[in-house]
Amino acid sequence: MIFAVPLAWLQLTYEKSRLLVAIAGITFAVVLMFLQLGFRDALFTSAVRLQSNLVGDLVIISPQSTNLVGMRNFSQRRLYQALGMKDVTSVNPLYIATGAWKIKEDPAGQTRNILVLGANPDAKVFKMPGAELNIDRVKTQDVVLFDRASRAEFGPIVAECGMLSLKTKFTDDAFGCNNTVNREVANRKIMVGGLFELGASFAADGTVITSDTNFLRIFDSRRAGLINVGLINLRPEASPYEAMRNFILSQPSESVVLPREKLQPDGKRIQVLYKESIGADGKILREENKDKVVISKADLTIEDLKKTQDAAIDDTRILTMQGYIEFEKGYWQKSTAIGFIFSLGTVMGFIVGIVIVYQILYTDVSDHLAEYATLKAMGYGNLYLAQIVIQEAFVLSILGFIPGLGISFGLYNLTKNATLLPLYIWDKAIPVMILTIVMCVISGAISLRKVQSADPAEIFG
């Protein structure tokens, strides 16, 4: 009976203006939830675009690194130590920095920070479309590859390369640069030798790739051998966790630091890690680290590494590629307010929807209280009346979701074109529809108290 809704439909459509207001309110809540979920997912997806397009099974970084644009330097000797380990086939260093890209079209000489990646062009490091195709071009002095999906503020680079008509194509000829395109990065003149596609993110609006040699020319204060990321390639049949453990065992320190999120201290094998700081009185204060635990490397197991995919020892931190992706996501989710704000926006949209639907249903029930009392007098129980109200809530959820989906689709496309962020709506359609139905059913359940209070004796007496 719950899906047979003639009476509920008649109740809703009795006052069409009220129905339209209800639909508009639910549509607003649906759009709000779509946008907040979309922005949150775009944040995490765009944040790991580079990590997802690196070739490697294991990654070595500095323990002081925080995120993609906060990568600290460490000695590449640590990376080459891994080359002598069992199952390791090759290692590749990667330099990362941000440099000031001079906007040629700006008469004031305005600059905009761009992400610069430096790697050995003879090594297979990048998987982005166009990168491997054009990587040999960066062997020439001061030649870079430009990300054609960078924000437009960097200038019409794709058009100057003569590739504007092929910007949406992924054929080999779409990533060339047929003209001489010169710019300045970090006060050094460079030439765009080709294109690739990565995309903008919250951390970087644009990216260029060059050789390790050219990178050190652009950033002449950087010392050769101080790298930001070390990529380790293993044999196809090798276990990355076994290789991680072998690397850890080869280091001089006896203690390994692991993420506390996946391993909790047990007071025996896994110990609490303490942070020391100097108080106002000059005394040393010890505070428990809520993010990390410490374990003896002799007690470290493969299962520990499978859980964490991340371990730090001495001046290095070794991760699986998935662990490196989670490292970047974790920064945006926990160390910045952005992830929390988008999640809070979704919750607020849900709450706003509950309030709106409740007000509509409560008013509807109040206006038709005499009819509900009549049904009670005819022998219909509270369960039947509750079904009518829940049916109304369900119908409202569907009527509000459909236009909300359409409006959100248009806003997604508008925002995607303006920001170049990866906004995709269809993977969120079912979750948002479920949230909308739950939202309306909760409102209907709250409104039931008014229906149950309908007493024929009081109303008709």
pLDDT, tens digit, for every residue of 224-269? 889 999 999 999 999 999 999 999 999 999 999 999 888 888 878 8
Helix/strand/coil for 458: helix
What average pLDDT does range 104-124 have in this prediction? 89
The 10 Å Cβ neighbour count of residue 450 is: 17
Query: HSE-up of 426 (CA within 13 Å, CB side)?
Result: 0
DSSP for 58-91, please give it.
EEEE-TT--SGGGPPPEEHHHHHHHTTSTTEEEE
Cα gap 267→194, rounded to integer Å: 56
Asked if 317 contacts 62 with a C-beta cutoff of 8 angstroms, the reply is yes
Indicate the residue type of 191: M
- Residue 1 pLDDT: 45
Task: Output the pTM of the full model.
Answer: 0.81
pLDDT, tens digit, for every residue of 357-403? 888 888 877 777 777 777 777 777 778 877 888 888 888 899 999 99
- Residue 4 pLDDT: 47
Phi, psi of 149 (to 5 degrees): -95, 15
- Residue 361 pLDDT: 80
Orientation angle between helical segments 382-419 and 338-367, nearest 10 degrees? 140
Tokens 């130590």 label which residue? 81
What 8-state DSSP symbol labels residue 279? -
Cα gap 249→231, rounded to integer Å: 19
pLDDT, tens digit, for every residue of 263-314? 888 878 888 887 776 766 777 777 888 889 999 989 999 999 999 999 999 8
The CA-based dihedral angle spanning residues 101, 107, 110, 116, taken in that order and rounded to the nearest 10 degrees: 0
Of 262, 249, 266, residue with least CA distance to 318: 249
- Residue 63 pLDDT: 93
Cα gap 59→322, rounded to integer Å: 10
- Residue 449 pLDDT: 74
Of 445, 443, 448, 438, residue with least CA distance to 385: 448
Asked if 308 contacts 258 with a C-beta cutoff of 8 angstroms, the reply is yes
Cα gap 356→24, rounded to integer Å: 10
Of 28, 56, 454, residue with least CA distance to 231: 56
pLDDT, tens digit, for every residue of 172-203? 999 999 999 999 999 999 999 999 999 988 88
Mean pLDDT of the chain: 88
Cα gap 121→210, rounded to integer Å: 8
What 8-state DSSP symbol labels residue 250? T
The kind and range of the H/E element at 270 are: strand 270-278
Tokens 């309030």 label which residue? 355
